[in-house]
Structure 1
Amino acid sequence: MPRFRKIFVLSLLLAMSVTVGAEQIKVDSLRFWTAPDHTRLVFDVSKVPSHSIFPLDNPARLVIDINNASLNRPFRQPPGNHPLFSKVRSAVRHGKDLRVVLDLKTDVATKSFTLRPSHQYGNRLVVDLFPKQGAAKASSTTQKSAAVKTVENKGRDIIVAVDAGHGGEDPGAHGPRGTQEKKVVFAIAQKLAAMINKQPGMKAVMVRKGDYYLKLRKRMDIAREARADLFVSIHADAFKSSRVKGASVFTLSRRGASSEAARWLAYHENSADLELAGGVSLDDKDEMLASVLLDLSQTATKEASRKVAAKVLGNFKHIGALHKNTVQKAGFMVLKSPDIPSILVETAFISNPHEERKLRSGAHQYKMARAIFHGILEYFREYAPPDTLMALNSTRQARHVISRGDTLSGIAQQYGVSMRAIKAANSLADNTIRVGQVLMIPADSG
């Protein structure tokens, strides 16, 4: 009897293991995001699946077979203007597998991988779609050529790369009401870019133009391709305590800069790609000279970053609490371009209910964007690159440093120009000025 019972128990366990092993994978949903160079599909699944992908012709289709899987709900369909595919279909295959078919608009290359549970997401199957090389190169060339322009042959625009953090399947931090960091920082970035583009002699390049994910080094590459004079990354902080609040501005730490310099010098192709200030390339330099040149470039870049960060932080003091009263340093990847001054702005703590509420407000988003813009503008009014329109114009304008007791009307009278002209030249929304602020005085009243 004991022996029979043992055999029975073993048989039962074996049967249970077979049943568990045969349990179908549930495909809960399909999410997708479109970036300029690819589209990412993310299938939410109950556990990591075995899968295969292959194309079909006449008409062009992409087949994704997910083994031992079933669909929980109909797939979301792409918008009619999606560049790569027009429809998603599904069917049962061999009675137990799931076949997903994308009706393509163009030939694509694919890359797929699985992701384990992380934060609010469970298991995922990720499929990236890339248009064939010709279209991708044409798009890249168009974007590059449009980035830099000159104004009436008198000087080029100052280029500011505006980077909205996170995006796509990476929502960033969440507020108590469920507000996603990626959405609010994108809204602030758009407002900032609009302000920059309205300023004569300045142009904004949006690093992330929609709701999609970009790798951190790709963000740096986009800024470099646009020949940016400044890189500004916008985020919203979070902490386990909901009482923590305030804005912060970061530049690259010494340790982060050193590690990036070592990386650049370790790979010859990176050295060839890197053009330092003044058009100096490291490609034809020996290791010692390249190291010295890179160190000099990084020193100048870090100093410029510190100055513009201080200007931005100073403007934040007028719209809300600061988390830290001084510029902070950290090894954030997006700050590591040795040839582009870079700052990272933590606009507020989205984990703080009061600050989350303000982050959701379009009016407050505008105030934050304007504070960042004024910091950038104040910096470039003092340190505009010599070949830019702003630098050429500054030689024809006087500068006035605000002292205690100064008023806008008194300054206008002193220089014989109108208040309206001074406000226009300095993008002032009202008559408010502060001690230490530098005003550009136009040559005439306009």
Structure 2
Amino acid sequence: MNNLRIIKIIQFSLIFCLLLSVSVWAKNSIEGVRVWPSPESTRVVLDMSAKPEFSYFMLKNPLRLVVDLENTKKHNKLPAIPKEHRVMSKLRYSKPKNAKSTRLVFDLTRTARPVIFALAPTGPYKNRLVIDLYGKQKSLEANDTKKKRERVTDRDIIVAIDAGHGGEDPGSIGPSGTYEKNITLPIAKRLARMIDAEPGMQARLTRTGDYFLKLNTRTSKARQKRADFFVSIHADAFTRPEPNGTSVWVLSLRRAQSETGKWLEDREKHSQLLGGAADLIKDTANERYLAKALLDMSMDHSMKTGFTVAEEVVKELKKVSKLHKKTPQSANFGVLKSPDIPSILVETGFISNPKEEKMLKTARHQERLARAVFKAIRTHYQKNPPDDSLFARLKENKPMQHKVKRGESLSLLAQRYGTTVSALKKANKLSKNTLYIGQVLKIPKV
């Protein structure tokens, strides 16, 4: 009898241990895999049933990133990697380090820097593990310095347009499930088309598709494009559905002071402020004083310009939508922090308001909002053009010229400059409609 009891106890213990091991194995699982491409990086997001425990390492020949997930079940199917990804070519499973873990291998197309972190549940998402792969590129600093020293005349005014959120970051979510990121990008693209169609202006989008960008990346992209102005497009939200209307925001003084302090501590950024003079200043203390003086002047100019444009934008938005705030507001938004680039943030409406959410999804309302922002920026630079810009020449009524580029025709240039083909031919004594790349044309006054 005692032996039978001992056998039963042993059997029960074995069953209990087996169940316990199964529960441990089932502690976590990959519930989905999403891949987001961007021009410089790739983001892979693993949707997890619980907080992930992970480790990773890099391998060479061939280049690979290996990620190990502890106590985690595999997902049934991994997505294929489209050709537009420039950092990785394939995502696959490999032999795990133990029976309870899962090993993911990222086959890379070039040297990349991995940034891996877990995200807690928020909004529509559960626990996630985010793998960012940033492709390393050769420095273009030498070429940029050479370009900066070249004297440019009749240049375009560059406007950097930032579509808020993107990729894994949906932004605010409307009552019917509309993501803010899907509102900001089409408005940004509409604004870009209007700016590009204006002689003397040129648009640069910080993101052109549905992918995530860090705040620092957004402003650094604007700086790389030598932007004269930076506008970030967003859609507001609140815990209740009643609030509505548009608003325009500028950098707060407190945030401005904080950012100038960070720039002063970063000696690599001094060269961006001092230009070629940075190489001639050998005294560290003098460099810091000069950098501080330039920072103060630059930030003061940026904040004044940003506020002036913000006032113009409010005036134009008032014509096409209800205003939530009748004057520009100041805030500590991270995207409004460049001391060298005047910046504003436009809240195009409350996505949390059912009526406004519906309007924000329509092409007609998006076009009207983009047109209002465009008119305001154009008006400001028509009144206050940079000295070396085409706008400055137009303001002084000096003769305008255009250097023919590939694909341009007389009809295209006539449309761009608001004139006629016959007027262009007469001003340039042309007998035919044929143009040559590099040919310089006089643009007649309208």
Shorter-chain TM range is 0.7 to 0.9
Matched AA of 2:49? S
Of 27, 35, 52, the match for 1:49:
52
Shift of 1:85: 3.1
Number of the residue aligned with 2:161: 162
Q: 8 Å contact 2:234–2:348 — kept in the other structure?
A: yes
Amino acid corresponding to residue 100 of structure 2 in structure 1? K
Residue 222 of structure 1, CA deviation: 1.2
Give CA-to-partner distance per residue, 1:71-91, whole Å, 9 cap, x none: 344222222343233333336
Q: Retained in 1: the 8 A contact 2:43–2:131?
A: yes
Change in CA separation of 1:271 and 1:204 when aligned onto 2, cut-off 3 Å: same
1:110-160 CA-partner distances (Å, limit 9, x unpaired): 3322222233322222222233x3xx237x679979x99x99x74111111
- Give the Cα–Cα distance (whole angstroms) in 1 for the partners of residues 191 and 141 of structure 2: 25
For 1:181-238, what per-residue CA distance to the aligned partner results, in whole angstroms no more than 9, with x for missing partners? 1111011111111111111111111112222221112211111121111010110000
For residue 230 of structure 2, what is the aligned residue in structure 1?
A: 231
Structure 1 alignment gaps of length 5 or more: 1-10, 398-419, 426-442
SS in 2 for 1:113: strand
1:33-182 aligned within 5 A: 33-54=36-57, 61-90=64-93, 93=96, 94-131=98-135, 133=136, 136-137=137-138, 154-182=153-181
34-43 or 376-385: which moved more? 34-43
Q: Which amino acid aligns with 1:67?
A: E
Cα distance in 2 for residues equivalent to 1:40 and 1:49:
17
CA gap of 1:316–1:142, structure 2 versus 1, over 3 A, is farther
Structure 2 letter corresponding to 1:243: E
Counterpart mapping for 1:335-414 below 5 A: 335-396=336-397
Worse-superposed segment, 112-121 or 167-176: 112-121
Amino acid at match of 1:388: S
For residue 319 of structure 2, give the secondary structure of its aligned residue in structure 1: coil
* Deviation at residue 19 of structure 1 after TM alignment: 6.1
Q: Deviations over 1:273-325 (max 9, x none)?
A: 3348xx87697645445433322222222111111111111110111100011
Instruction: Please give the residue correspondences for 1:226-305 in structure 2 after superposition, counting only pairs within 5 Å.
Output: 226-275=225-274, 285-305=286-306
Residues of 1 paired with 2:109 and 2:259: CA distance?
41
TM-score (norm 1): 0.77
2:117–2:129 Cα contact (<8 Å) kept:
yes
> Once the two structures are aligned, what percentage of the paired residues are identical?
42
Alignment check: 8 A CA contact 2:274 2:291 kept:
no
Change in CA separation of 1:258 and 1:91 when aligned onto 2, cut-off 3 Å: closer
- In the alignment, the residues of structure 1 paired with residue 205 and residue 42 of structure 2 have an alpha-carbon distance, to the nearest angstrom, of 18
**In the aligned structure 1, how far is the partner of 2:113 from the partner of 2:319?**
50
- Asked if structure 2 preserves the Cα contact closer than 8 Å seen for 1:251 and 1:335, the reply is yes
In the alignment, what sits opposite 2:4?
none
Tell me the SS of whatever aligns to 2:340. coil
Checking the alignment, whether the CA contact within 8 Å between 1:51 and 1:65 is kept in structure 2 is yes
Change (3 A) 1:312 1:322: same
Residue 95 (structure 1) shift: 4.3
2:243–2:350: 8 Å Cα contact kept in structure 1?
yes
Structure 1 residue 68, shift from structure 2 partner: 2.2
Structure 1 residues 444 and 37: CA distance shift in structure 2, 3 A? closer
Deviates more, 1:282-291 or 1:251-260: 282-291
What amino acid is the match of 2:211?
A: Y
1:367 & 1:85 partners in 2: Cα distance? 40
> Are the equivalent residues in 2 in contact too, given 1:70–1:92 (CA < 8 A)?
no
Pair 225,84 (structure 1): closer, same or farther in 2 beyond 3 Å? closer
CA distance in 1, matches of 2:129, 2:305: 43
- Could you tell me how far apart the structure 2 residues matched to 1:330 and 1:203 are? 28
Paired position in structure 2 for 1:408:
none
Tell me if the contact between 2:63 and 2:110 (Cα under 8 Å) persists in the aligned partners.
yes
Gap change, CA 1:198 and 1:226, over 3 Å in 2: same
Higher alpha-carbon deviation: 300-309 or 49-58: 49-58
CA shift in 2, pair 1:87/1:264, >3 Å:
closer
* SS, match of residue 205 in structure 1: strand
- Structure 1 residues 142 and 172, CA, compared in 2 at 3 Å: closer, same or farther? farther
1:30 counterpart SS class: strand
* Distance of 1:142 and 1:262 partners within structure 2: 27
Shift of 1:27: 0.1
State the SS of the aligned residue for 2:77: coil
C-alpha distance in 2 between matches for 1:381 and 1:281: 33
Report the residue type matching 2:162 in the other structure: D
TM-score under structure 2 normalisation? 0.77
Contact 1:43–1:126, Cα closer than 8 Å, also in 2: yes
| Aligned residue type for 2:78 | F
Residue 207 of structure 1 corresponds to 206
Counterpart residue identity of residue 26, structure 2:
E
CA contact (8 A) 2:273 2:291 kept: no
Partner residue, 1:5: none
Unaligned runs of 5+ in 2: 1-12, 399-413, 420-442
Once the two structures are superposed, what CA deviation does each residue of 1:157-189 show, in whole Å capped at 9, x if it has no partner? 111111111111111101111111111101111
Q: Is the 8 A contact 1:144 1:226 kept in 2?
A: no
SS of the residue aligned with 1:250? strand
Residue of structure 1 equivalent to 2:219: 220
